[in-house]
Structure 1
C-alpha cells in the first residue's frame, strides 16, 4: 500500500492515530464514520502494509532527567560502504543516540543524542564517539529551546 492507494478514510484514520494512538477502536470508528469491525480491519491492513510502522508512547525527556538534546555531525576516516555500515550498526547499540542519518555533503552522519547534563554529554562524545575506530571528527550543537518537535507525518486527502 502506497500513499497513492490510501483512501480518504485511511487518511483520516492515520491523521487521528498520529495524534492519539491510544484511542479505542470504537472511538476511532465513530470519528471516521465507520462501524468498529471494518475500522479495525482497515487499521490492521495499514499495519500489515507497513504504512503504520509501530505504535509508541512519546516520553518527556526532561521529566526523565535528560536535559541535554544535541545534534552531532560525524565525519568518518574511511569512506567505504563497510565503514559506514559498521558505524551505523554501532549507533544502534548506543542508547544515547535517538536518530542516525547518513548524509550528503561535508559530514557523513547526523546524529540526534540525549544526555543527562553537559558533563555526561561531554563524556559520551569524548569517550564513546571519538574513540570509535573509523571516526575522524565530530561537531556537536546543543538544542537551546524546542519550538517544534513533532512526530506526525502530514498525510492529506488529495484534491
Structure 2
C-alpha cells in the first residue's frame, strides 16, 4: 500500500487526534463499516504509515520542568566517528529528540531535566563527555507555544482531489451499439 485514498487520510487524521478510538467509533467517523475500516488500519500499520501508538505524558506532571535545546558540535564529522556519537546519544533517556542539522553544529538535541541545576550537572557529566564532542550551545524553552506530533496531511488530500478531478475530466469511453439479429 503506497497510495492513500480519502478514507486512509481520514483514518490517519482521526488516529493522530486520538489513537485510542475503538474501531467502531473510527469507522463511524470516517464513513466506513467496521470490517473495511479495520482492514485499512492494519494495512496502514503493515505498510509503515502508522508506526505505533503511545501515551503522551505531560513532562511537567512528572517533574521534568526544563526543556533545553542543545546544539552539539562534533570534533570531526567522519562517518564512523558520527555513528559512535549517534549510538551514544540514542542511549541517553533525557535526550528526547536528536536531529543531524545543517549550518552551525552537528546535532540539535532536545533534553528534558528536572530543573536548571540538574540540567547543568547533566551537561557537565554526560553531554560534554560524549565521544568526539567539541562544544555545546544551549537554549532553554521559556514556554511552549505549540507541541504536537500530528503531521499535516493536506498535501496528500490535495493530490487525491487532483487525481479525482483528472479522472472526471477524462472523456468517458465511447459506447458503440451493435445490432443483434
Higher relative contact order (CA 8 A, sep 6+): 1
Q: Which residue of structure 2 aligns with residue 14 of structure 1?
A: 12
Q: Distance in 1 between matches of 2:61 and 2:69?
A: 20
Q: Distance in 2 between matches of 1:98 and 1:132?
A: 16
Q: Is the radius of gyration larger for structure 1 or structure 2? A: 2
Q: Which residue of structure 2 aligns with residue 148 of structure 1?
A: 146
- RMSD across aligned positions (CA): 0.9
Q: Distance in 2 between matches of 1:132 and 1:87?
A: 7
Structure 1 spans left out of the alignment, 5+ residues: none
Out of 70, 75, 80, the residue aligned to residue 78 of structure 2 is 80
Across the two proteins, how many residue pairs are aligned to each other?
157
Q: Normalising by structure 2, what TM-score?
A: 0.85
- Give the SS at the match of 1:98: strand
Out of 39, 63, 84, the residue aligned to residue 37 of structure 2 is 39
Structure 2 spans left out of the alignment, 5+ residues: 162-181
CA shift digits 1:50-70 (9 cap, x unpaired):
000111111100000000001
CA shift digits 1:69-103 (9 cap, x unpaired):
01100001111011111111111110100011111
Contact 2:85 2:131 in 1 (8 A): no
Q: Distance in 2 between matches of 1:79 and 1:34?
A: 51
Q: Normalising by structure 1, what TM-score?
A: 0.96
Q: Which residue of structure 2 aligns with residue 122 of structure 1?
A: 120
Alpha-carbon distance, 1:133 to partner: 2.8
